[in-house]
Amino acid sequence: MLRNLFLVISTLGLACALATVLSRNLVRAGLWLVAFFFCVACLFVLLEAEFLAALQVLVYIGAVSILLMFGIMLTRGVQGTDPTSNPSARLAPGLVAGGVLFLLLSYGISRERGLRTQRSWATTGERPAIEPGTEGPSTPRRDAINNMGKALGVELMSRYVIAFELAGLLLTAALVGAIAVAHREEAFEPSSKGAPASSPAAESASVA
């Protein structure tokens, strides 16, 4: 049952990814990308990471793909056609590179032997159980899975607090940097001589 579900979802996901890569129309490629993100969220649910699946839907489908759509429509017109895409002279080497990479990765995955204390990946047939009664009344993994939002918050605020703060700093820098980079040049260039104090956004945009 689970295996069939996984096979259906992964086949759909790979088909959506392939359609994203090969579709000539950019808006359609973006919509295929949304479907791929949703399939990956379904895989997260199969891996019992429901909170991450919700994050995936919110961040990727809700924000990233909409941002990509804005980018397409601001650069290509509303139709989003990409007449220059995928000439066969570029497609063949790309397909060869992707195929060779997949063959290498799958060879490595199937031949992995595992550490001394650990089984190899190819023979890890099932995940550690979390049903009650299998490993005592309460294990850290089961508590985290059953209460994932709380566990993630506690971890981000205690053990991974430096990474959390760095991520916040990165997001702030990306926000300011994106505004500074995409600031309209015509808006400030004629008036920057007379402006009493130029904003940092205008400065960095004029430098760029």
Partner 1 sequence: MESDIPLDWFLLFAAAAFAIGLIGVLTRKNAIAVLMAIEIMLNAANVNLVAFWRYGPLRPEAGPIPGLVLAVMVLTVAAAEVAVGIGLILLCYRRFKAADVDQYDTLSG
Q: Is 80 left (phi over 0), alpha (psi -120 to 50) or beta?
A: left
Dihedral, CA atoms, 208, 181, 29, 60, nearest 10 degrees? 140
Buried b (16+ CB within 10 A) or exposed e, 71-110: ebeeeeeeebebeeeeeeeeeeeeeeeeeeeeeeeeeeee
Half-sphere exposure of 89 (CA within 13 A, CB side): 1
Closer by beta carbon to partner 1, 84 or else 194: 84
Which residues 113-142 are close enough to bind partner 1 by CB under 8 A?
117-118, 121-122, 124-129, 140-141
DSSP reduced 3-state for 195: coil
The span from the CA of 24 to the CA of 80, in Å, is 9
In the bound state with partner 1, the residue whose beta carbon lies nearer, of 40 and 194, is 40
Asked if 159 touches partner 1 (CB under 8 A), the answer is yes
Q: Which of residues 55-114 bind partner 1 (CB under 8 A)?
A: 55-56, 59-60, 63-64, 67-68, 70-72, 74-76, 82, 84-86, 90-91, 93-95, 97-99, 101-102, 105-106, 109-110
Q: Is 81 in contact with 26 (CB distance < 8 Å)?
A: yes
- Kindly identify the residues of this chain, within the stretch 17-56, that bind partner 1 according to CB under 8 A: 17-18, 20-21, 26, 29-30, 33, 36-37, 40, 43-44, 46-49, 51-52, 55-56
* Minimum CB–partner distance for residue 200 and partner 1 (Å): 15
- The residue among 7 and 195 lying less far from partner 1, judged by its C-beta, is 7
User: Which residue number, 152 or 198, has a Cβ lying nearer to partner 1?
Assistant: 152
Shortest separation between residue 125's beta carbon and partner 1, angstroms = 5
Question: Considering the rule CB under 8 A, would residue 195 count as an interface residue with partner 1?
Answer: no
Virtual CA dihedral for 71, 93, 9, 36, nearest 10 degrees?
A: 0
- Contacts with partner 1 in 139-158 (CB under 8 A)? 140-141, 143-144, 148, 151-152, 155-156
Helix (H, G, I), strand (E, B) or coil at 81: strand
